């Protein structure tokens, strides 16, 4: 029987635990939302501030995955991650690393990290083996061969099923599923994202906790005709609905506001 929860650094996710909040720190100036970029030397302060605002864990990335982002080398990504994680060693904060390259993960493993955020859904065998060998829990995104290449609700469900199968084959028991909301491949449209969100509750059928990662994304901007810096209200509205549909973790650029949302939501659920 599949586990209904995941444990990351003693933090229980799903299985009746409170909805957890993942704060996003990007070490990449190329990021689609400039407010999420934190340069080297300021990672420590930003992470502690997020923790004080209510973040249960910090998701650290050094490469923008937004369509059209300028490419960087694996060496540059690894160097950025190494510098950023050096600031967090010894803080006691729960940290996940957002990368899909085994060379980068190997560098990250020299530091105090507790989970891997893999947007390729363990589709790359070499990277998947590195993740499995690390013994770390995984946030695994719905993907067939490339990040987010499942187009439409039916394909998303199929891709998530493949992720579950990959985890079983690799012996990974601690993982959270990510339905891959976002403009990951050109074939995907905003309506694909809205369809995934409308059916978010159906992903709980896999028996695993599910991540809501919709913060300031383009489909919200398309609806509201707003740039990333103006998408907070739309993000919070949708986050409330996805939490109601069973999201076990919320990934957010706006930790304080999202923490308030979750507190109000929990208060309203009290009988």
Q: What is the pLDDT of residue 1?
A: 44
pLDDT score recorded for residue 68 = 67
Q: Which of 24-38, 115-129, 245-259 has the lowest mean pLDDT?
A: 24-38
Segment 41-82, tens digit of pLDDT: 999 999 999 999 999 999 999 887 766 677 889 999 999 999
Residues 6 or more apart in contact with residue 25 via CB below 8 angstroms: 36, 38, 43, 46, 47, 50, 58, 59, 60, 61, 84
pLDDT given for residue 3 in this prediction? 66
For the cut 80, the answer to whether the pLDDT of residue 232 exceeds it is yes
Query: CA nearest 248: which of 3, 65, 33?
Result: 3
Give the confidence band of 20 by pLDDT, cuts at 50, 70, 90.
Answer: very high
Cα–Cα distances (Å) from 55 to 28, 59, 95, 173, 197, in that order, read 20, 10, 11, 24, 23
Q: What is the pLDDT of residue 114?
A: 98
Residues recorded for the chain: 271
Please, what are the domains in the chain?
5-269 (3.20.20.20)
Burial annotation 140-175 (CB, 10 A radius, 16+ → b, else e): bbbbbeebbbbbebebbbebbebbbebbeebebebb
Judge whether residue 261 has pLDDT over 60: yes
CA torsion through residues 108, 109, 113, 117, sign: positive
Token duo for residue 117: 């955020």
* 29 band by pLDDT with thresholds 50, 70 and 90: confident
């Amino acid at each position: 029987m599949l586990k209904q929860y995941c444990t990351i650094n003693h933090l229980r996710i799903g299985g009746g635990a409170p909805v957890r909040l993942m704060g996003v720190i990007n070490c990449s100036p190329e990021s689609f939302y400039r407010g999420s970029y934190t340069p080297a030397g300021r990672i420590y302060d930003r992470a502690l501030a997020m923790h004080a605002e209510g973040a249960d864990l910090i998701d650290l990335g050094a490469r923008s995955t937004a369509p059209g982002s300028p490419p960087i080398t694996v060496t540059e990504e690894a160097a950025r991650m190494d510098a950023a994680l050096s600031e967090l060693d010894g803080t006691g904060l729960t940290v996940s690393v957002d990368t899909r390259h085994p060379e980068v993960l190997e560098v990250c493993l020299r530091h105090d990290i507790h989970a891997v955020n893999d947007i390729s859904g363990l589709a790359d065998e070499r990277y998947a083996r590195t993740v499995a060998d690390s013994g770390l829990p995984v946030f695994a995104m719905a993907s067939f061969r490339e990040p987010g290449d499942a187009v439409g609700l039916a394909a998303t469900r199929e891709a998530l099923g493949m992720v579950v199968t990959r985890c079983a084959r690799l012996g990974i028991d601690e993982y959270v599923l990510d339905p891959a909301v976002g403009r990951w491949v050109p074939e995907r449209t905003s309506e694909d994202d809205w369809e995934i969100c409308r059916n978010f509750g159906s992903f709980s059928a896999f028996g695993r906790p599910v991540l809501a990662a919709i913060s300031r994304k383009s489909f919200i901007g398309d609806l509201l005709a707003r740039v990333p810096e103006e998408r907070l209200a739309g993000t919070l509205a949708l986050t409330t609905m996805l939490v109601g549909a069973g999201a076990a973790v919320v990934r957010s650029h706006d930790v304080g506001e999202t923490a308030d949302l979750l507190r109000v939501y929990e208060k309203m659920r009290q009988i």
